[in-house]
A = this chain, B = another copy of it.
């Protein structure tokens, strides 16, 4: 029976066929002109031709240079207009200032020949400079491309590479055109170069399929490129270097659809300090662009990585490892200390569990391994000592892969006199082949042959045979954890794609702080439990209300001028007797008037005291992300520890449960100091309900429910204070 998680996504998620071919002119052009082609190796226009040769480009190439007859074996043309055949792609290797005249030639061809379907502009000097000239230049380029209906990539980019279709329009040094299943989108040409040069420097160059440098995104942008790669049959996993995108919701939605069929791995940079906007709520103070992106990546099923090493390892793991059937990892080594180091690294990753093998496997291991080997001490770990031979490695690997309790094997090895990396690689490959054919499907096997150049040939042999190798056990473990995590992420993304998707932009207007009763009335339309309350006009009414609501109660002054009531002394908690209310009212008024002279007081809110664990639920309407929802730990410390999880609104209850699970304070809900577990489900319901409310009220720009008291399981939770900012028309 098919895993429901594997079933195809609904029709709304399948982009039209045209999207799958939209960017073909860049990758499989009928004719490619290189303007600025040159004999001088210091010129980009030289290296582009070199790379087209190096990749073995099959289509016609037209170097454009009036002073040359031929370059790299291709006949030169004085200008674009004189090129005979059909011309799909023009690569501009020229400074920004000389480009307008070439665009005139493009215009002529578009008019006379109806070709030139795509342009790549490598030059900088556009909007990225932040200068008025640069911005004007970019606007002109954009207008040209729109008017001519021509595809455009750049400016300020290094173009595209396609190992399958043998295309390379970059001027990069050091690209190995090794085919593979990784495609990479980069908002920085230099970052792309870093990745490509890192790939080509490995013992065996890492294979990849397509590379797209997006530059300033005039024309082709991240969304279009992501959609295209999502449809590309040779792409198994997509990597992305992301600085930012003007409409993050659109990008996330696109990437989420793609991530349903191929993992999307994102390195997001530009982590700015939190506290993104002038906010009067705690929610606002906790928000930050990075926190919102982070929550959104989790929500839409994208794998976020933090370092370039993790990016490289994770892409390779997704491309080459078989899909794991579980998270039980066995660690085998002949190196004691590195084994302990690796055990620490594995223990730090919650996604991974140590594998437990059967007694039979354990005994078989003991039987074949050197006398002082430590087998399954600790569980999921095997140290065969430095005297373990290549054959013993192979036998142990085969036994472990054959045990049903093992989902994956990580191996650590250092070359020794007695054990060359090459011999080890050969034996391991045989053993892995035997185990995989006897008991398909193959299991993930992650060898870490450490020690730099001394293992280069051994690693090359393994990778040539399709087994990825890793630099260190921590890096292998993290890449594998990302593989495991993808399963959960994809499910989250699948759910997120079924939810409504409100528009982003906040409306304009005057910010107006609502009083607590106003907030309660605004949110009351949904299933949001609020501790029983009553708005009262005077102490006598409040006393009556207290008795009717049930004691003890809290008394809170209601004032449009007092968003932070507690600070002002306008909140009195734990009033156990109705008779105490008038004095409390008096005390609160005195304190609040001292805190803010001239304060308007419109009454007193009486609310039954609620008990439970304190949490905070809040939301914002972010200018970029639109409505967002947050749940966090309550209390003072939480503000300082910044323990909060974010998503774009709305979320469903499952997603809300996942958010709660991300909190450092999550264990509080499992019961504290021997107490019963708290009503996590009720908190999740509340979060989901609040998120729907946020998504449905466009002028609700800030909302704090703080605290929310979460009672024991089954007892629900209750909001006991609230703050909101609404936009009212100017």
Is B641 a contact of A173 with CB atoms below 8 Å? Answer: no
A464 at the interface (CB under 8 A from B): no
A134 to B371 Cα, complex, angstroms: 11
CA distance A41 to B418 in the complex (A): 8
- Structural contact, A414 and B190, CB atoms closer than 8 A: yes
A451 at interface (Cβ–Cβ under 8 A)?
yes
Residue A500, interface by CB 8 Å: no
Q: Does A44 contact B (CB under 8 A)?
A: yes
Contact B638 A637 (CB under 8 A): yes
A389: shortest Cβ distance to chain B, in Å? 10
Cα A416 to Cα B241 with chains together (Å) = 20
* Closest chain B CB from A472 CB (angstroms): 6
A190 to B336, Cβ gap below 8 A? yes
B191 touches A341 (CB 8 A): yes
- Please determine whether A668 and B636 come into contact, CB atoms closer than 8 angstroms: yes
Within 8 A of B (CB), among A288-346: 307-309, 334-341, 343-344
User: Once the chains bind, are B243 and A337 in contact (CB under 8 Å)?
Assistant: yes
Scoring A residues 270 to 294 as 1 if CB is less than 8 Å from chain B, else 0, what string do you get? 1101000000000000000000000
Asked if A347 contacts B174 (CB within 8 A), the reply is no
Q: Which of A663-722 contact B (CB under 8 A)?
A: 664-665, 667-668, 672-674
User: At the interface, yes or no: A193 with Cβ under 8 Å from chain B?
Assistant: yes
What's the least CB distance linking A315 to chain B, in Å?
A: 16
**Which B residues touch A668, using CB under 8 A?**
636-637, 640
Whether A198 contacts B243 by the Cβ 8 Å rule is no
Interface residues of A in 176-191 (CB under 8 A from B): 186-191
With A128-B372, A347-B271, A672-B636 given, is the CB distance from A201 to B337 under 8 Å?
no
A3 to chain B, nearest CB (A): 34
Chain B residues lying within 8 Å of A474, measured Cβ to Cβ, are 307
| Interface bits A127-146 vs B (CB < 8 Å: 1, else 0) | 01110001000000000000
- In A551-599, the 8 Å CB interface with B consists of 564, 567, 574
Contact string against B for A residues 99-127, beta-carbon threshold 8 Å, 1 for contact and 0 otherwise:
00000000000000000000000001100
Check if A392 is an interface residue, CB within 8 A of chain B: no
Q: Mark A639-650, 1 if CB is under 8 A from B, else 0.
A: 111010000000
Question: Would you call A567 and B674 a contact (CB within 8 A)?
Answer: yes
Question: What chain B residues lie within 8 Å of A418 (beta carbons)?
Answer: 42
Choose among A241, A273, A308 the residue with the greatest number of B CB atoms under 10 Å from its CB. Answer: A308
Cα A564 to Cα B338 with chains together (Å): 43
Evaluate contact between A335 and B191: CB separation under 8 angstroms: yes
Cβ-defined contact, B567 with A173, below 8 A? no
**A664 and B640 alpha carbons, distance in the complex (Å):** 7
**Are A344 and B41 in contact (CB-based, < 8 A)?**
no
Q: Does A454 interact with chain B (Cβ within 8 Å)? A: yes
Is the CB–CB distance between B664 and A340 below 8 Å?
no
Q: Once bound together, how far apart are the Cα atoms of A679 and B373, in whole Å?
A: 56
| Residues of chain B within 8 A of A269, CB atoms compared | 337, 340-341, 343-344
Contact B372 A125 (CB under 8 A): yes
Q: Closest approach, in angstroms, between the C-beta of A492 and any C-beta of chain B?
A: 24
**Chain B CB within 8 A of A202 CB:** yes
A624 at interface (Cβ–Cβ under 8 A)? no
CB neighbours (8 Å) of A202 from chain B are 452
Counting CB contacts under 8 A, is A450 at the interface? yes
* Assembled-state Cα–Cα distance A309/B450 (Å): 12
Instruction: Flag if B190 contacts A372 (CB, 8 Å).
Output: no
Give CA–CA (A343, B290) in the complex, Å. Answer: 14
Contact of A200 among B46, B47, B452, B638 (CB under 8 A): B452
Instruction: Tell me which residues across on chain B come within 8 A of A567, comparing CB atoms.
Output: 673-674
For A129, A134, A270, A640, the residue with the greatest tally of chain B CB atoms inside 10 Å of its CB is A640
Complex Cα distance, B200 from A271, in Å, reads 36
| Min CB–CB distance A727 → chain B (angstroms) | 26
Nearest residue, chain B, Cβ from A638: B637
What residue in chain B is nearest A633 (Cβ atoms)?
Answer: B637
Check if A453 is an interface residue, CB within 8 A of chain B. yes
Q: Is A197 an interface residue (CB 8 A)?
A: yes
List residues of A (472-506) whose CB comes within 8 Å of B's CBs: 472, 474
Which residue of the partner chain B has the closest CB to A373? B129
Known: A134-B372, A641-B641, A665-B641. A416 touches B173 (CB 8 A): yes
In the complex, are the beta carbons of B417 and A44 less than 8 A apart? yes
Q: How far is the CA of A385 from the CA of B130 in the complex (A)?
A: 14
Interface pair A188/B472, CB less than 8 Å apart: no
Among A42, A171, A335, A637, chain B packs the most CB atoms within 10 A around the CB of: A637
A residues 606-649 with Cβ under 8 Å of B?
Answer: 613, 633, 635-641, 643
Across-interface contacts of A451 in B (CB, < 8 A) = 174, 193-194, 197-198, 201
**Which residues of the other chain, B, contact A125 by a CB distance below 8 angstroms?**
371-372
Complex contacts, A387 vs chain B, CB 8 Å:
124
Closest chain B CB from A29 CB (angstroms): 23
Q: A188-B338, A309-B472 are in contact. Are A414 and B194 (CB under 8 A)?
A: yes
How far apart sit A442 and B640, CA to CA, in the bound complex (Å)? Answer: 40
Interface flag for A217 (CB, 8 Å): no
Distance from A453 Cβ to chain B, minimum over Cβ atoms (Å): 4
Q: Report B-chain residues with C-beta under 8 Å of the C-beta of A128.
A: 336, 372
Cα-based distance from A194 to B198 in the complex (angstroms): 22
- Known contacts A188-B335, A188-B340; 10 additional CB pairs below 8 A are A41-B417, A173-B415, A193-B335, A194-B337, A194-B451, A198-B451, A243-B340, A635-B635, A637-B637, A640-B668
Residues on A facing B (Cβ under 8 Å): 41-44, 46-47, 124-125, 128-130, 134, 171-174, 186-194, 197-198, 200-202, 241, 243, 267, 269-271, 273, 307-309, 334-341, 343-344, 347-348, 371-372, 374, 377, 385-387, 414-418, 450-454, 472, 474, 564, 567, 574, 613, 633, 635-641, 643, 664-665, 667-668, 672-674
20 inter-chain pairs at a CB distance below 8 angstroms, sorted by A residue, are: A46-B417, A124-B387, A129-B372, A172-B417, A186-B337, A188-B336, A191-B336, A194-B450, A194-B451, A197-B414, A197-B451, A197-B454, A198-B451, A200-B453, A241-B337, A308-B472, A564-B673, A635-B635, A636-B668, A637-B668
